[in-house]
Structure 1
Amino acid sequence: MKKQFVLCALPLLLAGSAGAAAPASPSQAAASTRSCHLPGVTEALRCVSVPVPLDYADPRAGTLKLHITVAPALREGTRADPLFVLAGGPGQAGSDVLTLLPALQRVRATRDLVFIDQRGTGLSGKLDCESKPEHERMSEEQLEAELRACISSTKVRYGAYTTAASARDLEQVRRALRYGQVNLWGGSYGTRLAQVYARAFPASVRSLVLDGVAAPDQVIPAGARDAQAALDGLFAQCAKDAGCNKAFPALRAEFNALVARLERGGIPVSLPDPRTAEPVSFTMTAPRFLGTVHNILYSPADARRLPFLIHSASQGRWGPFVARQNLSTDFGMDASMSMLLHLAVVCAEDVPRLTPELLAQDTGQLTKTLAEKFPSICKTMNVPAVPLAAPARIEAPALLLSGALDPVTPPHRAATAARYMARAQQVVVANAGHGVSQLGCAPRLLREFLDKPQAALDTACLKKIPAPTFQLGSAGPQP
C-alpha cells in the first residue's frame, strides 16, 4: 500500500510496460469469469472481465474490458455486501495491490474482496510508455522528450479516462457481479475515486474506508508544502533522538548543501552499479535526488534511513542512496504505474486548478520542479478540463485513516474531506505515514467498522504502533 499518490521526479515517469490494450468490440456485452492465479498470490482467485463503454459520451466508441479480481469470502452465505478495493495513483491497479489480502483477511472471512483494475491501469487496457534501461542515465530534457513522444504516439481518447468515468465503471461492475450495496476501501487517489462514486451513486454505497485521504479540493501536483512538513518533521525527530543527533549533527545543513550543489548543475557520480556491480557513471540531478527523498518519506520505516542516506551522499558515498532509488523503478509502485492514465486524470482534473497563485503559496523543495513541469506536459496530453463540482454531502458512514507523518495526504486533508460527510470517524495514527490499514491492530478495526459502521470505533490500540528506529550506519536500523 506504500506510495499511492505519484508525486515523483520526472525521471521516474517512464517506468512501466509498453502499449494499451485495444477496446473490446461492442458485441462483447456479458461479464465472463474464470479461475486465475496472479503474481504474488498462491491461491486461485476469480478473474472477471466486465465490458464497459469506452466513452460514456459517445456510444459509437465501443467498449473496454475491465479486469476485476475477486477473492471470495472464506465462509459461505454470510455477508452480501462486498468490499471494493480501489488502488491509488492515479495509475495503480487493483491487481497491483493484492498484497493487501493478508491485512484484509478478517474482512474476507465474511465478505468478498473485489479488486478493481481502473480503466487504463493493470489488466484494464493499461496506458503506459515503454521502459528502457537507458532512461536511468538520460537527462531531464531527454526524458521529457521521450515522454512527449510516447504521449503523441499513443492513439487513445485520453479525455475518456476521468475519475467520473471510473466511478461509472464501478457501478457497471457492481451490477455485473449482482451485488446490492457495496463497501469501499480506497487508498490515496483511491479515496478520491471512492468519494466520487459515493456521490454519484449514493444508494449503492453502504460504507467507506478511506486510507490516506485526498480532500475534494486537493490538487495532486501541489504537494510541496505537505512534503516539506514531513521532511522538516523527520529532521526534528532526528535532532531529538540521541543516537541520530550524535551520528548526524549537521543533517539539515548537509541536505541543504547537497540540494544547492545539485541545483547548480548536478553532481557527477561513479560507482559500482548496485544491481550488477559493473562500473557506472552518471549525473545525479536535483529532480532525481528530491524525487527519491519524497518517495522515501511515504513510509516511516523507510524515512528513518534517510538521515544515513543524506549524510553518506554528502560525504560522496552515493551507493546507498542510488540503491534505494533503484527500488522505486525495480519493485516499487513506479514499476506498475500506468503513467499515461496518471497524466490523463491529473491533466484534466488537477492542472486546470494549478494556478500561479497556488504554486506560489505551495512552498517547499521536494515536488516543486515536477509541479512546474505539469502544465507544459499537459498541453501535449490535450485533454479537456474537468470543472471541480461543489462536493455533495456523503451520507454513508466513513472511516478516515491518516498517518501523522504522511507527506502526501496528511491529516488536514482528511479533516477537509470529513466536512462533506454526515457520519465520518477520523483517526490519526502518530507513527504512521502514507497508509494505515496494514499496521498494528488496523486489520481488526477494519472488520469491526464494516460489521457495524454506525458504531463508534475504539481505536486506542493504534497508539501502540511504535516509531521505527533510525539507521545510523551501513548495518541497518538500530535494534
Structure 2
Amino acid sequence: MHPVFRAALLRAALPLLVAAGSAGAAAPESSTPASPPAAARSCHLPGSVDALRCVSVSVPLDYAEPRAGTLKLHVTVAPAFRQGTRGDPLFVLAGGPGQAGTDVLGMLNTAFHRVRATRDIVFIDQRGTGLSGKLDCKSKPEHERMSEQELEAELRACITGTKARYAAYTTAASARDIEQVRRALGYRQVNLWGGSYGTRLGQAYTRAYPASVRSLVLDGVAAPDQVIPAGARDAQAALEAVFAQCARDAACNKAFPALRDEFNALVARLERGGIPLSLPDPRTAQPVSFTLTAGRFLGTVHNILYAPADARRLPFLIHSASQGRWGPFIARQNLSSDFGLDADMSMLLYLAVVCAEDVPRMTPALLAQDTGQLTKTLADQIPGMCRTMTGPAAAAPAPAPARIDAPALLLSGALDPVTPPHRAASAAKFMPRAQQVVVANAGHGVSQLGCAPRLLREFLDRPQARLDAACMAEIPAPTFQLGSAGPQP
C-alpha cells in the first residue's frame, strides 16, 4: 500500500490501542510443550546483522471453522548468546494492531541486547501482518496526489476486493496463535514483552493461558476499558503539555510567545476548507500544489507527539506554518509516511481488529466525554470503513477482565499521547503483582531509553523482586528547536 494511501486513516492514530479485556476467552489448548520443536532455518532479515532462525508455524485460519484451512505464521528466533542458560524465552508482541515482529527486529540491538545474553528472543508476525499473510493494499503512484475522499474510496475498494475472512483476524485468534507458537517451539513457559497494542494482546494471552506465562513486560500499556479511536483526551493532554513546557522555557517562550494562538488559528483556517499550498516537494525539490486538510494536519501533530524529541520540534513547525512557511511541516509529514510506523502497518488487519472489538463500544456517551481535536477525523471515518468490511467478527459484550497473577512490569511515559500512565494504572488494578514505572521525560515507548535495557534483564531474572528504577529519572528532557538549524545544543 502506498504510504499516503495508508496514512489517510493511520496518521491520526498510530499505533493507537484497543482494550485489553475485550478479546474473549480462547479454547483451553494444553499448556504442555509440543515435541519435538518445529524445524528452523537460518535466515537474514532487515533490522539484524546476525543470522537468525526462522520458523513457519501452521495455525487454523479460522478457529471457529475447521474447514477454512490453515495460515502460516512467520516466527523469528534470535538465539541466546549463551546457549543452555535459560529455558524461558522472551516473546515479542508488536504494536498496531497491524505491526509485525519482523518490523521491530532492530530492538535486538537496543532494548533486548542484555536480555538476549541468557534468553532466546522470539518475534512473532501476528496473523495478517508482515510475513504471516499480511492484509494490505496495492500501491499506486497516483495515491500521492489524491484527495482524502479519493483515498477513502480507494481504501473501500481494497476492503471489498480483498475478500479476506476478516472475522478470523481478532485478538482472541492471535492469542491462540501465540500458544500454538509456544508449543511448536517446545518452550514450557514464556515471558512476554508487549509494546502498545502488543500490551493488549499480551494481557489477552496471559488471561487465556496463565500457566504458559512466567512474567510480562508491558510498554505503553493499554487499559481494559480503552477504546480506539476514542483517544482525543489523552492526545490533547500531550499537546497541552508541549504548550506548557514551551511557555516555561525562556528561549522557547521568547521565540514563540503566541504558540497556542497560532495553533488554534491554523486549525480554524484548515477546518474552513483546507489551505492550498504550492511549494517545492521536500522529497524531490520539484514544485507541487495540493490542499492540506485539517485531518492531515492534526494527524501529523498527533504523530509528532509520540516521541518527546520530536514533540520539542512542534513549536517551531507550528510557528513556521503560521508564517506561511509550510516546508518544514510537510517534510515532517512525509517522514512518517515514508519511514515511520505507518509504512509497515497492515491497514486491513488494523480495521479487522478495531471494527470487531472497539467500534461497537464507541457509544455517544463515550465520544461526548472524549474531548479534543487530534483524533476526531479517525473517530468520524472508522465506523464507515467498518460498514464496508464483509464479515467482521460479531460484536459481543466485553467480559470483565480476569485477574492476572503473573509478575508484571508496566512501563509508561508521562508524555505519551495514547497510553499515558493512567492507562497502566487501570490495567494494574487486575494485576496484584504488577510494578508500574513512569518516566517523566518519555513518550510512547520506554524500553529502549536510558537504563531500561538493564532493568528489563533484572526484572526477567527476578520478576518477583522489587525493581529499583530510579535511574530512569536521569533521562533528560530534549531541548526545543528554535530555528531551521535544529534543536538547541
Normalised by the length of structure 2, the TM-score is 0.92
The aligned residue for residue 115 of structure 1 is 123
CA offsets per residue over residues 206-261 of structure 1, 9 Å max, x none?
Answer: 00000000001110200000000000010000000001000000000000000000
Pick from 105, 113, 137: which aligns with 1:98?
105
- Structure-1 separation of matches of 2:458 and 2:11: 39
The aligned residue for residue 444 of structure 1 is 454
Is 1:49 equivalent to 2:56 in the alignment?
yes
The aligned residue for residue 348 of structure 2 is 340
Greater Cα shift, 127-136 or 162-171: 127-136
- Structure-2 separation of matches of 1:449 and 1:264: 52
- The residue correspondences of 1:217-366 to structure 2 (distance < 5 A) are 217-366=225-374
- Deviation, 1:357, is 1.1
Pick from 56, 68, 74: which aligns with 1:61?
68
- Structure-2 separation of matches of 1:221 and 1:144: 17
- Deviation, 1:386, is 4.2
Greater Cα shift, 127-136 or 65-74: 127-136
- The residue correspondences of 1:146-157 to structure 2 (distance < 5 A) are 146-157=154-165
Contact 1:32 / 1:50 at 8 angstroms: preserved in 2?
A: no
The aligned residue for residue 82 of structure 1 is 89
SS of the residue corresponding to residue 167 of structure 1 reads helix
Is 1:33 equivalent to 2:40 in the alignment?
yes
Name stretches of at least 5 consecutive residues in structure 1 with no aligned partner: 1-6, 16-28
CA offsets per residue over residues 286-312 of structure 1, 9 Å max, x none?
Answer: 000000000000000000000000111
Structure 1 residue identity aligned to 2:387: K
Structure 2 residue identity aligned to 1:406: D
The aligned residue for residue 9 of structure 2 is 10
Pick from 421, 426, 439: which aligns with 1:411?
421
- Deviation, 1:353, is 0.1
Pick from 125, 128, 143: which aligns with 2:151?
143
Contact 1:9 / 1:367 at 8 angstroms: preserved in 2?
A: no
Greater Cα shift, 36-45 or 48-57: 36-45
SS of the residue corresponding to residue 75 of structure 1 reads coil
- Structure-1 separation of matches of 2:92 and 2:352: 21
Is 1:376 equivalent to 2:376 in the alignment?
no
Contact 1:251 / 1:311 at 8 angstroms: preserved in 2?
A: yes
Contact 2:81 / 2:116 at 8 angstroms: preserved in 1?
A: yes
- Deviation, 1:135, is 2.2
- Structure-1 separation of matches of 2:364 and 2:381: 13
What percentage of residue pairs aligned between the two structures are identical?
82
For the aligned residue pairs, the C-alpha RMSD in angstroms reads: 1.6
SS of the residue corresponding to residue 384 of structure 2 reads helix
Contact 2:10 / 2:342 at 8 angstroms: preserved in 1?
A: no
- Deviation, 1:73, is 0.2
- Deviation, 1:67, is 0.3
- Structure-2 separation of matches of 1:36 and 1:87: 20
- Structure-1 separation of matches of 2:265 and 2:7: 21
The aligned residue for residue 128 of structure 1 is 136
Contact 1:30 / 1:51 at 8 angstroms: preserved in 2?
A: no
- Structure-2 separation of matches of 1:30 and 1:125: 23
Pick from 169, 176, 187: which aligns with 2:177?
169
Contact 1:11 / 1:140 at 8 angstroms: preserved in 2?
A: no
Contact 1:11 / 1:288 at 8 angstroms: preserved in 2?
A: no
SS of the residue corresponding to residue 114 of structure 2 reads helix
Pick from 210, 216, 238: which aligns with 1:208?
216
CA offsets per residue over residues 390-418 of structure 1, 9 Å max, x none?
Answer: 11000000000000000000000000000
Contact 1:8 / 1:295 at 8 angstroms: preserved in 2?
A: no
Structure 1 residue identity aligned to 2:349: L
Structure 1 residue identity aligned to 2:113: Q
- Structure-2 separation of matches of 1:30 and 1:108: 20
Structure 1 residue identity aligned to 2:222: A
The aligned residue for residue 457 of structure 1 is 467
- Structure-2 separation of matches of 1:12 and 1:279: 24
Contact 2:171 / 2:353 at 8 angstroms: preserved in 1?
A: yes
- Deviation, 1:43, is 1.1
- Structure-1 separation of matches of 2:205 and 2:404: 10
Contact 1:87 / 1:94 at 8 angstroms: preserved in 2?
A: yes
Contact 1:8 / 1:370 at 8 angstroms: preserved in 2?
A: no
Greater Cα shift, 135-144 or 201-210: 135-144
Pick from 76, 80, 85: which aligns with 1:73?
80
SS of the residue corresponding to residue 269 of structure 1 reads strand
Structure 2 residue identity aligned to 1:111: R
- Deviation, 1:31, is 4.1
Pick from 430, 442, 446: which aligns with 1:420?
430
- Deviation, 1:11, is 7.2
SS of the residue corresponding to residue 315 of structure 2 reads helix
- Deviation, 1:341, is 0.2
Contact 1:30 / 1:50 at 8 angstroms: preserved in 2?
A: no
SS of the residue corresponding to residue 105 of structure 1 reads coil
Structure 2 residue identity aligned to 1:75: R
- Structure-1 separation of matches of 2:397 and 2:166: 16
1:409 to 1:472, Cα distance in 2 relative to 1, 3 A: same
1:9 to 1:231, Cα distance in 2 relative to 1, 3 A: farther
Greater Cα shift, 460-469 or 373-382: 373-382
- Structure-1 separation of matches of 2:416 and 2:141: 31
- Deviation, 1:41, is 1.5
CA offsets per residue over residues 117-157 of structure 1, 9 Å max, x none?
Answer: 00000000000112333323222211111111000000110
Structure 2 residue identity aligned to 1:465: I
Contact 2:92 / 2:124 at 8 angstroms: preserved in 1?
A: yes
